[in-house]
Amino acid sequence: MAKTRRFDAGAFSPCARHVPTMIEVLLRAVVDTAVDGIIFIDATGTVTMFNPACERMFGYPAAEIIGHNIKRLMPEPYHAEHDGYLSNYRRTGDRKIIGIGREVFGQRQNGETFPIELSVGEASVEGEPFYVGILRDITERHRAAQQRERLIDQLAASNEEIGHFAHVASHDLREPLRMITAFCGLISSDYGERIEEQGREYLAHAIAGAGQMQSLLDDLVDYSNLGTEAERAFWFDSAESLEHVQGHLHEAIRVSGAQVTCGPMPRLYGNPIRFMRLLQNLVGNALKYVPDGVAPRVDVIARAEGDFWRFDVRDNGIGVEPRHFDQIFEPFKRLHDRSQYAGVGLGLAICRKIVTGFGGEITVSSSPGKGSVFSFTVRTHEEGTQDAHHDH
């Protein structure tokens, strides 16, 4: 059995018998002032050095630990396993902590257990092995992680509740809206000739308001569903998604004389319905926010950037002032009166939430009167992502 040697207060080596050199004195100063615990044990598991940080961490003075087995600082099951681990390591060389590091639990003098980040190194002096452990108390880190998990659970529950509320509110409000729209339509068709011009104008405003409310309810449900619905993810062709969007927007494209073009488009992995909604919102905005008398032009460009696909949706619209770049992605944020441009202010907020679900980010580059470029990224996946393009 290796002889146990107490760490000499005047030297760094656990078995030094000489006048300490300047380097040894400096190293001893480092050990004594280190924030992390530093502990030496010999081949039998006996503690030979216990620095002040260890004293603060475990609550023991060094004199009560040095010369005793390190198991004294371990709760079960580590206490019972330690001698067997050292014996097995000396016999087979199989490492579980040495040179690897891991999270374990320590036990303070008062019996309290606490999490430790532990790394262990091996050395030898005069042919005798010893082990150096560096310990960090990660109690606060664990508490923060637990708090984060609780907050995530609370947020998930809150989101689910909000989604449920949106569905209920949407269902309950749609019926009176349908009644308002239907009866206003009946009044307009059956009594329109008897109503003066101002009355017909009021009626038209009522029908338009009901339509806006219907659109708002639809967008609210969509927005609340994002992140709460189960993901239906699979491989899809983003070029086909854009073709479907152009089909949905066919009438707006025809009436405005718009031109929509795209370059090579990749295959992506994710929810294709959400991706199509993302493109439809961005292209639809590009068709809507143009100066009077200007035919919209929309270019969709995709290119690989590291672990992401980057998509740029360029337009020749009215543009956005830089001071509004962050605001336009907030729910219900509108920069223009509804009399100028229709909408409820949720389109870009929905876009940002969809892009976040794809593991990316969305930004805008623009200036008033010079069009805009809405850029978003989608995280790539290994299978079939890098080599699948289609030209249109």
Report the chain's terminal Cα–Cα distance, integer Å. 78
- How many angstroms separate the Cα of 4 from the Cα of each of 42, 68, 69, 87? 7, 10, 11, 17
The single-letter DSSP state of residue 7 is P
Better-predicted residue by pLDDT, 197 or 213? 197
Please name the helix (run of DSSP H) or strand (run of DSSP E) that holds residue 175, with its range, or none.
helix 139-191
pTM: 0.47
* pLDDT tens readout for residues 38-79: 999 888 889 999 999 999 999 999 999 999 999 899 888 776
Domains, the chain: 22-137 (3.30.450.20), 140-229 (1.10.287), 232-392 (3.30.565.10)
Query: What does the pLDDT read at residue 369?
Result: 84
Q: Is the pLDDT of residue 332 over 90?
A: no
Burial 240-254 (b: 16+ CB within 10 A, else e): ebbeebbeebeeebe
pLDDT tens, residue by residue, 241-253: 999 889 888 888 9
pLDDT tens for 106-135 read 999 999 999 999 888 888 777 788 889 999
Pairwise pLDDT comparison (261 vs 183), residue with the higher score: 261
**C-alpha to C-alpha distance for 75 and 58, rounded to whole angstroms:** 12
pLDDT in tens, 146-171: 898 888 878 767 766 666 666 666 66
What is the pLDDT, as a whole number, of residue 85? 62
Residues facing 42 on adjacent strands: 130
Please state the φ and ψ torsions of residue 39, each to the nearest 5 degrees: -140, 140
Selection from 348, 374, 341 nearest residue 252 by Cα:
341
Q: Specify the pLDDT at position 242.
A: 94
Lowest mean pLDDT across 20-24, 25-29, 92-96:
92-96
pLDDT bin (cut points 50, 70, 90) of residue 95 is low
Burial of 148 (0-12, 13-18, 19+ CB in 10 A): exposed
Residues 298/315, Cβ–Cβ less than 8 Å: yes
pLDDT for 6 equals 42
Give the alpha-carbon dihedral of 333, 336, 340, 346, to 10 degrees: -10
